[in-house]
Amino acid sequence: MRPIVVGVDGSESGRMAIGIAVHEARLHQRPLRLVHAFVWPTLGVYVGPSPEGPPDGGLAAEADRLLADAVAHAVAVGPDLEISGEVVTGAPVPVLLAEARHAPLVVVGSRGLGGFAGLLVGSVAVQLATYAPGPVLVARGEDRRTGPVVVGVDGSPASGEALAFALTEAAARGVELVALHTWWGRLPGRTEDGLPLIYDADDVQAAQAAMLATMVDEHRPNAPDVVVRQEVRHDRAAHALLRASDTAQLMVVGARGRGGFAGLLLGSVSQTLLHHARSPVVVAGRRPRAAA
């Protein structure tokens, strides 16, 4: 069975990611694989112990200790799970993208040890969410075990895949799923085509609710026992989803929605949640072929 993969780097955010990954592995009855990317050998840096230092010194030994500490923490939190770990040579993003080709889910912290302290979310998390071929869970905000799973739905294929993933997560947790759709500004052409020549906000609300219901019905057979609360709001998507993250235990969004610029590989709503959500965020849905 393919394991859930979690990237570890010794940071506090990475430690939170381990706890969430353990929870995911237990929910879905999967093994857990911890991976630490060890970049120094690729830079031509000597990684062995110093001739004048202790035999267990050096960068390679430190990488092994970091991984051992992470595995020990995972075992302490999830003693019932099959847990393995590996130090893999390479930079974090390429290493974890390679792992993502075979993993049902990759979990990372929102902020690692590197980069700039002022950034709200690290470059590794953003790049994985942008380019990974499968779902990526970014550990940020509060690690809650209560509250609903919330998914943003905008009618795009990516949001349909996010909805399917969110249904599976809600079923595993035994909680309600909130399927949230918003409308604001100019409406999609297919929505306007289905409205009367002269229409008001109630007509738009009804049309958007019908679209959302159709998408939910399409994916509901995958999790027929999940209670789905469908909400349509006149609001900007990022604002509504951020408010929902105040009480959600998990936020799920597609990699790319209908809005924004076609050249962007990760949608603006997804990016906003990665930077500001107050609960963990999953970016699901296949990325464009160019990003693979």
Residues of the domain holding 236: 149-286
> What Å distances lie between residue 233 and 97, 164, 221, 236, 244, CA to CA?
35, 21, 25, 8, 12
231 in a structural domain: yes
User: Which pLDDT does position 59 carry in this prediction?
Assistant: 76
User: Which pLDDT does position 265 carry in this prediction?
Assistant: 52
User: Which pLDDT does position 264 carry in this prediction?
Assistant: 44
- By percentage, how much of the chain surpasses pLDDT 70? 78
Task: Tell me the per-residue pLDDT of 104-123, one tens digit each, with 9 for 90 and over.
Answer: 999 999 875 544 443 445 78
Task: Tell me the per-residue pLDDT of 186-239, one tens digit each, with 9 for 90 and over.
Answer: 555 455 555 554 455 577 788 889 999 999 999 999 899 999 999 999 899 999
Domain of residue 277, CATH code: 3.40.50.12370
User: What amino acid is encoded at 258 in this protein?
Assistant: R
pTM score of the predicted model:
0.86
Taking all residues of the chain, what is their mean pLDDT, rounded to a whole number? Answer: 84
144 in a structural domain: no
Are 71 and 50 found together in one domain?
A: yes
User: Which pLDDT does position 261 carry in this prediction?
Assistant: 40
Q: Which of 55-69, 89-103, 262-276 has the lowest mean pLDDT?
A: 262-276
Last residue of a domain, one of 102, 119, 139: 139
Q: Token pair of 91, please?
A: 């930079």
Last residue of a domain, one of 114, 139, 164: 139
76 in a structural domain: yes
Domain of residue 103, CATH code: 3.40.50.620
Q: Smallest Cα–Cα separation from 7: which of 130, 90, 117?
A: 90
Per-residue pLDDT band at 267 (split at 50, 70, 90)? confident
Question: 180 pairs with which residues across the strands?
Answer: 152, 231
291 in a structural domain: no
Q: Alpha carbon 45 to chain centroid distance?
A: 33
Average pLDDT over residues 152-171: 93
